[in-house]
Amino acid sequence: MRIRNLYIILFFLSALPYDIKSQVDCTVPESPVLNSVSVEPETGNVLLNWDPSPSSGIAAYVLYTYKNGEGIPIDTIWNPEATSYIYSTSATKYFSVSYVVAAHRRPNCVSPLSNYLNTIFTEAEIDTCNRKISLSWNSYVPYPKKITGYEIMASVNGNSYSPVARLGEDKVSFILDDFITDAEYCFFVIAELEDGTNSQSNKTCLSTSMQRPPDWINADYATVKNEKIYLSFSIDPYSEISNFRLERKTGINGNFTDIAKPVSSNGIVLFTDDQADTKEVNFYRISAINSCSNPVSISNLASNIVLKLDRMNNDILLSWNKYKDWMGYVISYIILTDTGSGYREISETPANDSLYKIDYHDIMYDVATDEVCFMVAAGEASNPYGIEGSSNSQIVCSAPVELITVPDVFTPNNDLVNDLFKPVLSFTPLDYHLIVSDRQGVIQFETRDYFESWNGSRNGDPVPEGVYLWYLKVTTPSRTAVSKTGTIAVYFNW
């Protein structure tokens, strides 16, 4: 029985692999210390550095990937003086890889596995909605060397890498809060170690192609017509955004509120605001809205001109707010009036002026309607995009002064002083009829032309001195029928 058992043991030993049989009989060497693991960002290759085993008789070093507590050999370096190795791999482009190293003594004694170190794996993600690039990476193992911090390296469109941030040793993420659109960005992370060495991560790249926002939005004008405010905005022609948000605030201290979501057409946004009070100053702006519903560009302001009219005796006083806020400047303000035959320019004021006075006598004979109306127009110059904005105020009107004054004496002696008789009107009548007769009712003069005057004659001969009767009937611009009678004394003073 004993002999049989001995044969079984000898058979079992003879069946063992050579390395296990040898390992049983060898003195296991001490492990080397893995000092650093670093990725070459451009290739993905891994550089491993270690301190050699202090044991004698070392013939080689065995390199392993390390996962779940087990090592998977990748190469054996048959050089007892070796302390570094470059491992060609693509795995580091996709995930973090851990490595260990062991010392090998002949005939087949292998040390325990060293400490493990992992590569740094960096990922980048773009958030085009908020114009951010997020970077994240796994921590580097802080043994045998402590980490002093992480440095973020970036390259744009293939240019040289440069640092964009330096973070503490406990950080594993970073946000780049602005970037150039339609560019290629590449990043890698460096773990800085206490002895001045470092460990680099893989390279991660992304394209910043995104919906191009407008570099500029020009508020062309806010102009009033038919009690509505008409708006125009010009958009950077290279913009890929067509959706906008229009805001309005009333008064300088008001708050902006959304009033519309217009869409551009051929680089122009047009909108008619029929809800605004044109007698109040309203400010407008639009923002370009990207595909994430976020505003990315905003225009300058546009505001309507509010015109005010006051009457002081025979003066008409006009005042208005200055236009805001062209990218160019206001050339001047044009004063226009409509006395019955359409608007015409009557004056121009400098851009720094917002007051104008009109003597009613200067326009009273032009008034042919039941009201005289005014409007102010502003024009833009030196716009950086070649746009010439213009803005009209709302229309303000005033009833005409309808005065009729008739003299009671005149001297038709051809001395060019008080030679003619005619009622003085402060308006242009719609209808006019003047009759002058003697005391017996004989008509001496009659006309329906309010420009025509009586020269004190009848049928070409001077009338006798004395008192004559006159009768006047007119229809004023306000369509009021007025009839008046009175006397006129004729003296020749020869």
DSSP 8-state symbol, 360: G
Inside any domain, residue 145: yes
Inside any domain, residue 432: yes
What percentage of the chain carries pLDDT values higher than 90?
A: 80
178, pLDDT greater than 90: no
DSSP 8-state symbol, 104: E
- For residues 49-57, give the mean pLDDT: 96
Give pLDDT, residue 7.
Answer: 36
Residues 136 and 111 occupy one common structural domain:
no
Three-state DSSP class for residue 3: helix
Three-state DSSP class for residue 390: strand
Residues 299 and 312 occupy one common structural domain:
no
Give 369-380 pLDDT, tens digit per residue: 888 999 999 999
d(CA 244, CA 259): 11
Residues 277 and 246 occupy one common structural domain:
yes
Q: Which of these three, 398, 429, 460, is where a domain ends?
A: 398
Residues 327 and 389 occupy one common structural domain:
yes
Residues, the chain:
494
Q: Is 280 in contact with 251 (CB distance < 8 Å)? A: yes
- For residues 17-31, give the mean pLDDT: 63
Domain that includes residue 371, residue range: 307-398
Give pLDDT, residue 10.
Answer: 33
Give pLDDT, residue 250.
Answer: 97
Residues 128 and 105 occupy one common structural domain:
no
Inside any domain, residue 251: yes
Residues 23 and 105 occupy one common structural domain:
yes
Give 401-422 pLDDT, tens digit per residue: 788 989 999 999 989 899 999 9
d(CA 107, CA 20): 11
**Band of pLDDT at residue 299, cut at 50, 70 and 90:** very high
Angle among Cα 171, 176, 182 to the nearest 5 degrees reads 145
14, pLDDT greater than 50: no
Residues 483 and 422 occupy one common structural domain:
yes
**Band of pLDDT at residue 443, cut at 50, 70 and 90:** very high
d(CA 220, CA 302): 7
**Band of pLDDT at residue 445, cut at 50, 70 and 90:** very high
CATH of the domain at 480: 2.60.40.1220
Give 124-172 pLDDT, tens digit per residue: 999 887 889 999 999 999 999 999 999 999 999 999 999 999 999 999 9
d(CA 384, CA 286): 18
**Band of pLDDT at residue 362, cut at 50, 70 and 90:** confident
Q: Which residues contact 286 (CB under 8 A, 6 or more apart)?
A: 217, 219, 233, 244, 245, 246, 247, 262, 269, 298, 299
Q: Which of these three, 207, 230, 255, is where a domain ends?
A: 207
Three-state DSSP class for residue 428: coil
Q: What average pLDDT does the chain have? A: 92
| Residue among 215, 213, 208, 210 at smallest CA distance from 156 | 208
Inside any domain, residue 198: yes
Q: Is 169 in contact with 120 (CB distance < 8 Å)? A: no
19, pLDDT greater than 70: no
Q: What is the pTM of this model?
A: 0.60
Least confident range from 197-206, 268-277, 359-368: namely 359-368
Give 374-399 pLDDT, tens digit per residue: 999 999 999 999 999 999 999 999 98
Give pLDDT, residue 317.
Answer: 96
Q: Is 428 in contact with 367 (CB distance < 8 Å)? A: yes
Inside any domain, residue 367: yes
Give 307-344 pLDDT, tens digit per residue: 999 998 889 999 999 999 999 999 999 999 999 889 99
Q: Between 101 and 400, name the one with better pLDDT.
A: 101
Q: Work out how many domains the chain is built from and give that number.
A: 5
Q: Is 147 in contact with 169 (CB distance < 8 Å)? A: yes
Inside any domain, residue 8: no
- For residues 53-78, give the mean pLDDT: 96
Give 267-296 pLDDT, tens digit per residue: 999 999 999 999 999 999 999 998 888 898
Give pLDDT, residue 25.
Answer: 64
Inside any domain, residue 232: yes
Residues 88 and 168 occupy one common structural domain:
no
Residues 141 and 101 occupy one common structural domain:
no
Residues 55 and 108 occupy one common structural domain:
yes
Q: Which residues contact 437 (CB under 8 A, 6 or more apart)?
A: 443, 444, 468, 469, 470, 471
What percentage of the chain carries pLDDT values higher than 70?
A: 95
HSE-CB for 252 with a 13 A CA cutoff:
5
Q: How many CB atoms lie within 10 A of CB 414?
A: 11
**Band of pLDDT at residue 249, cut at 50, 70 and 90:** very high
d(CA 470, CA 434): 7
Give pLDDT, residue 365.
Answer: 79
Residue 430 main-chain phi, psi, to 5 deg? -75, -35
Q: List residues bridging with 330 in a β-sheet.
A: 380
11, pLDDT greater than 60: no
Give pLDDT, residue 190.
Answer: 98
Residues 394 and 408 occupy one common structural domain:
no
2, pLDDT greater than 70: no
12, pLDDT greater than 50: no
Give pLDDT, residue 143.
Answer: 96
Residues 387 and 411 occupy one common structural domain:
no
Inside any domain, residue 267: yes
Q: Which of these three, 335, 365, 398, is where a domain ends?
A: 398
4, pLDDT greater than 50: no
CATH of the domain at 94: 2.60.40
